[in-house]
Amino acid sequence: MKSIYQALLELEQNSKSAALCTVVKTSGSTPRHSTSKMLVFPDSPIIGSVGGGELENQVVLEAKLVIKNKHAKLIEYKMTDPAQGDVGVCGGQVMVFIEPIIPSPLIVIIGGGHVGKAVAHISKWLGFRVAISDDRPEFCTPEANPDADIFFPIEMKYLPDQLVITDQTYLVLTTRGVSTDIEGLPALLKTSAGFIGIIGSKRRWAETVKQLGSKGITREDLARIHSPIGLEINAETPEEIAVSILAEILMHHHKGTGKPMKEQP
């Protein structure tokens, strides 16, 4: 069986979440000592143990809530009298710290041209993991986009087959036009992507909505898409447009308002 530390590394590489449960304090008779660890996944077997039995069952249930809510918990369990709701009869007490392990956000730029390259550069500078996808292989290489960590030289509609897209995935479409978006968006809308944004004018987006609607895409799905992507700063150059795009992504990620600081209460 792989170690907890090996599994933690793979979580980041595969953009998956889990909860790390650590016994941080014990007193009296307890099944495991302090620093014992267990890694809990949303829908797969655990690695490690914090004591087995009802104690471990309760910790697993709490861990899955932590994964969902992304908030750590410190819980103390008594092990004296199960009739009073305790988790065992050993006679001691166990304190367990449960922390969510959430992968770093991944920005996937679909379209590796001038704007896509600028978005990749600023995204990397801001600390995001960065992927480039483009059906034109010459735009999807380390030479063309040196700031990307991963490359997917495929059509947009095949991206979900090659990449695990989660709520920590931000999809930025700096694509060539409406036809490209119409072909690829239905597949992206079936994923749990945390953010989907498309570059372009309001007219381009209106035409995209019209054509997607004729293909049966619902209004609820279309409401997930941010288009035109970016905050209004009258951006013109690829670098300025990238700043506008990343500003909206950061606003979404940190649940900001986008208002000038002087207007904040």
Same domain, 40 and 144: no
CA distances from 42 to 21, 69, 71, 143, 191 (A): 13, 12, 15, 38, 17
Per-residue confidence (pLDDT) for residue 27, from 0 to 100: 86
CA dihedral 59, 62, 63, 66 (to 10 degrees): -160
Same domain, 87 and 160: no
pLDDT digits (tens, 9 = 90+) for 188-230: 999 999 999 999 999 999 999 999 999 899 999 999 999 999 9
How would DSSP label each residue in 195-216?
EEEE-S-HHHHHHHHHHHHHTT
Same domain, 61 and 116: no
Number of domains, the chain: 2
Q: How many CA atoms lie within 13 A of 131 on its CB side?
A: 28
Q: Which of 101, 126, 143 is the last residue of a domain?
A: 101
Same domain, 113 and 92: no
Same domain, 114 and 167: yes
pLDDT digits (tens, 9 = 90+) for 83-127: 666 566 676 888 999 999 988 889 999 999 999 999 999 999 999
Reported pTM: 0.80
Same domain, 114 and 93: no
Report how far residue 17's alpha carbon sits from residue 100's, in angstroms, rounded to the nearest whole number: 7
Same domain, 146 and 86: no
Q: Which residues of 210-229 are buried (b: 16+ CB within 10 A; e: fewer)?
A: eebeeeebeeebbeebbbbb
Q: Which of 66, 101, 136 is the last residue of a domain?
A: 101
Same domain, 140 and 85: no
48-56 LR contacts (CB < 8 Å, sep 24+): 48/4, 50/21, 50/22, 50/23, 50/94, 50/96, 51/23, 51/88, 51/94, 53/87, 53/88, 54/82, 54/87, 54/88, 55/31, 55/79, 55/87, 55/88, 55/94
pLDDT digits (tens, 9 = 90+) for 230-265: 999 999 999 999 999 999 999 999 999 998 989 887
Q: Which of 78, 101, 124 is the last residue of a domain?
A: 101
Same domain, 46 and 117: no
Q: What is the CATH number of the domain that holds 197?
A: 3.40.50.720
Range of the domain at 225: 106-261
Same domain, 55 and 115: no
Report how far residue 203's alpha carbon sits from residue 184's, in angstroms, rounded to the nearest whole number: 19
